[in-house]
Amino acid sequence: MNIKKWLVLGTACLSLGAAPVFAQETREFSVSTVLSDAFPWGKAAMKWAELVEERSEGRITLKVYPNAQLVSGDQTREFSAMRSGLIDMAVGSTINWSTQVPQANLFSLPFLMPDNAAVDAITQGKAGQMVFDAIEKRGVVPLAWGENGFRELSNSRGVLTQPADLKGLKVRVVGSPLFLDTFNALGANPTQMSWTDALPALTTGAVDGQENPLSVFDVARADRANQKYLTLWHYMNDPLIFGASKRVWSKLSTEDQQLLKQAAYDAGQWEIAKSRADLDATLQSIRDRGVEVTELTSEQHQAFVAATQNVYKKWTPKIGEELVEAAQEAINKR
């Protein structure tokens, strides 16, 4: 074999040997979250980053950007930014992603999930996989579930125990048409605005009430914004989803994909367990600050369910009848 052939062969061998080296390349990825690590949502992202750094021995770094800062505070743009590759990864909300993924509206159907067992039955079964499939078809790879929790209703006017109590109530809601339909069905006056704008509006009385998980109410000190009455009505639950841009994901080695996915799952399970374990203490803290907490009776709860049935008729075709049926079947079998 002549010198030229030896050089060609040597170059080829070096090229072949470069693949494992490239797979071990040190990388940093951006991770978007809407809330900071003062909230369970942000804690989920930080736990993911911690596990990835530990398991990759510092080779892969997830840099978490809270408060939707990668999309200038507009949380509804997070999914499209990740799909286009402007954001590498995210721990996102089904509510915020529902503007681009109609199937994610499943979790916003009013009073679909009565308890945590119902949430788990959906996310861990056929319906949850159908939602994941819909997300992946739109350019984002879903990796695992997390939890934002059941959303409860607070206000500054008085105790709310029946649909009639909401008549004319100005309620801040997130930017989802389904939320508008739900509160309109209950006779309220829903207003879409960011959480940053909501607190001043609640404080001045421009808005009467808001709906959010207890963790958000607690950490954000909504009681200081005239929210003196809290109704535990469990009207919807907002699961979180660990996801990655398909553009970014496709460039990772199989080993790194598995590392990131397993770490996301483990972080999600940790966050779900912690969020649920902390609920009693969170609720007690809210009560200790003078907030009047009302828990609905089964009869009162059913009155709200009945008042929002037209929302199902309108939104089931948009979400997908097969998906809604799969979710209801999972709940009934839990």
What tens digit of pLDDT does each residue of 34-76 get?
999 999 999 999 999 999 999 999 999 999 999 999 999 888 8
Long-range contacts of residues 278-285, Cβ cutoff 8 Å, at least 24 apart:
278/40, 278/215, 279/149, 279/214, 282/214, 282/215, 282/218, 283/214, 285/218
Given this model, what pLDDT does residue 26 score?
82
What pLDDT score does 328 carry? Answer: 97
Among residues 78, 246, 262, 269, which one has the least CA distance to residue 174? Answer: 78
- Give the residue ranges of DSSP H helices in the chain: 3-23, 40-55, 78-83, 94-97, 116-123, 126-137, 177-185, 195-204, 214-219, 246-249, 254-277, 279-288, 298-307, 309-319, 321-333
Tell me how far apart the alpha carbons of residues 97 and 30 are, in angstroms, rounded to a whole number.
18
* 253 DSSP 8-state letter: -
With CA atoms as reference, report the closest residue to 238 among 113, 139, 141: 113
- In the numeric block, the tokens 């029946």 are attached to 162
Furthest C-alpha separation in the chain? 92
In whole angstroms, what is the distance from residue 37 CA to residue 94 CA?
19
Per-residue tokens: 263: 């770490």
The one-letter amino acid code at 32 reads S
- What DSSP string runs through 47-93? HHHHHHHHHTTTSEEEEEE-TTGGGTT-GGGHHHHHHTTSS-EEEEE
Position 200 scores a pLDDT of 95
- Rounded CA-CA distance 321/187 in Å is 27
Q: With a cut of 50, which residues of the chain have pLDDT below it?
A: 1-23
Predicted local confidence at residue 196, as pLDDT: 82
- Predicted local confidence at residue 24, as pLDDT: 57
Separation CA 316–CA 309 (nearest Å): 11
Kindly report the CATH class assigned to 27-333: alpha beta
CA distance to 50, 64, 238, 314, 315, per residue, from 81 (Å): 24, 15, 21, 29, 26
